[in-house]
Structure 1
Amino acid sequence: MQRAYRTLRAALATCAAAVLAACSTTPLPDDEAAAPPPLTPPAATAPSVPGPPGLPPGTIDRAASRWIPVTWAELPGWDADRAAEAWSAFLRGCERPAPGWSRLCAEAVFSTPADDHGTRQWFMQRLQPYRIEALDRPDPEGLITGYFEPLVEASRLPRGAFKVPLHRAPADLQQRKPWFTRQQIDTLPAAQAALKGREIAYVADPLDALVLQIQGSGRLRITEPDGRLQTVRVAFAGHNDQPYKSVGRWLIEQRELTADTASWPAIRDWARRNPRRVNEMLWSNPRTVFFREEPLPDPTAGPRGAQGVPLTPERSIAVDPRSVPYGTPVWLDTTEPLSNTPLRRLVLAQDTGTAIVGAVRADYFWGPGEIAEQQAGRMKQRLRMWALAPK
């Protein structure tokens, strides 16, 4: 979602930077890697060129990475992955195939591997693995963070604790730049008048609204006026053109948290203990995001990423498209954020974010809900990556 003001999908280069960034470790966003911009066709990736002399034949230099051809035996854990789980993500990516993938995507539409082994064989027969390294140094290690799709209880009408509105974009958003700040929206009659009637729903916790804005989209479990419950998605529809400021960074500067402890759980805990300062914290970030409501016909699918296709929980990642083109299958070698057990699996590069920069850099989409939030909020692991490209 560039989980930037990122497609889904969203948001750190470090825990403190994502706690201060977005499209990442759900500590905080320092930029808007977690909120998606309006969907546009992905820009064509700069053509790859052969690597400099002295490297293995078939080495490719991209705009921000070097791809070194390797054998399948180099991919740790390749034979143990539940590869069939990645097939649906691969087919979704084929709805908007990257350059050079049209033929294989057309073939994949009529292929249905029977199991994990069959899926691996399909890829091994048609693709070549490449180890991804930085252009300026032979360093195969980088960083992986995580993002998620919030699931928030909401009410269609203000009632009880449900008083924090999520707004559609105001009618004059394009004419007034920058638009009102977050504090002005909360305090100025003119700003409130411009948003009157633009409410999509109301949530009970202003931090829930902030998380939705940082991640760029989310799910609402809404109570309708007649008492019915339904789940919908709110997607990024614009922002007020004000600078993004991390509330995590503000808390660190206020000496309320340290860089090592700044995370969403810690921020929520601080807010519970300091209710009179919550607005002060929120107003330190002048940027506000506006949403549009979308139906949720497939609860298994995430929001659309920068590639323009729905993200697949635990099988989609955000990347720097100068390093890895959208739609590319990628093999990850990293660890789980809570258990530190190996996390090795086939994923698809289908999103990006402004904090996701560099050759070996990824943001892992955990999906919706509380467990996904816990995983994403603590993920800041070492990473190795291999790209798979047509032979």
Structure 2
Amino acid sequence: MNKESTIASGQLFFLIIKFEIGVDILSLPYQMHLSAKGGGWISVIIGGLLIQLIILMCWLLLRRFPSSSIYQILTQITGSWIGKGLTVAYIAYYLLMGTSVLVNAYDVINRWMLQYTPRWAILALFLFSSIYLVRENLRTIARVLVLISFLILPMMLLISYGIKQSNPLYLLPLTEAGWPRIIVGSKETLLAMFGFEFILVVFPMVEGKSTSKLKSILAANAIVVLLYCFTVFTCTTVFSPQQLELMPEPVIYLLRSIPLGTMDRVDFIFLPIWLISIFGAISGYYYAASYGISYLFKQKSHKKAVPFVVLASCCIAYLPQRREDFELIGSIANNSAYIFLIAFPFLLLILSYLFKKKEGPET
């Protein structure tokens, strides 16, 4: 593997943070309130711990095949024909996830910023910028996305201004919804934090031992849990329970209520920063799908597959006409994540031990 195709574990740390903070940061406080009331921040912590366990399970599989991505692992464990079928399924999954993020991002942009801009114009911006970036080698992509990940700092700084208006009494009683609903509410955190699946493709391309890679991924996930917990806590203490029930995207309403000097609409500062961050997450999914196609057709580079992946995603994103259609795509993507991030890796891990499949010594 040439040096341009590898990244450092420090870059992986920032990439995981970047991929896990996506569209759902805008609506997570609302979802947590519906399920767990004032205990929403507890649900976030529980969900974060579950994500750590899922990451650990994926790592146990990946370290048995230190020089293989999920696509190669599928073939080595299940054989050529079944492996190719599952490879196509994973490619479709990454394409679906990228499309889901794109559709949701467009929905937010259309409702809050560019109400009269044609959909094709917004999608065209994503199309050309994604093709331009994703065609590069992994190291170049990582450098760009690491820079983008630093935009999370001003995003969280703007959200933190809401602390001035907070009323902690809105949290009480913490267990109003009951522990069963607080635990069930952690499901929304799982859905919001999907994005770490990028490691299934790039894990062998990260320099260093597998234990150092694991530490980077777990540390990044822990930071995202804290940032999500802070966001949910802030929105839950700024808005009353009655107000939160009417706010599907409370983060934007929070920013609109913050006076910041001469700025009347702070959300117009936040949303462009958030949009650039979302572009990075979409690019990661496109790279994973393109890499899978290049492996399937035995191409040396993923570059030829990139235009087809991005164009297919934008065409699918152009089809939905109603808000219900947007939600349907998101629901299908989220439900499929349970299969491709939990069920399949667990099954592959079990099969690798049963049939004693592994690639050299575990590192």
TM-score (norm. length: structure 1) = 0.26
Q: Which has the higher contact order (CA 8 A, sep 6+)?
A: 2
Whose helix fraction is larger, Structure 1's or Structure 2's? 2
Whose strand fraction is larger, Structure 1's or Structure 2's? 1
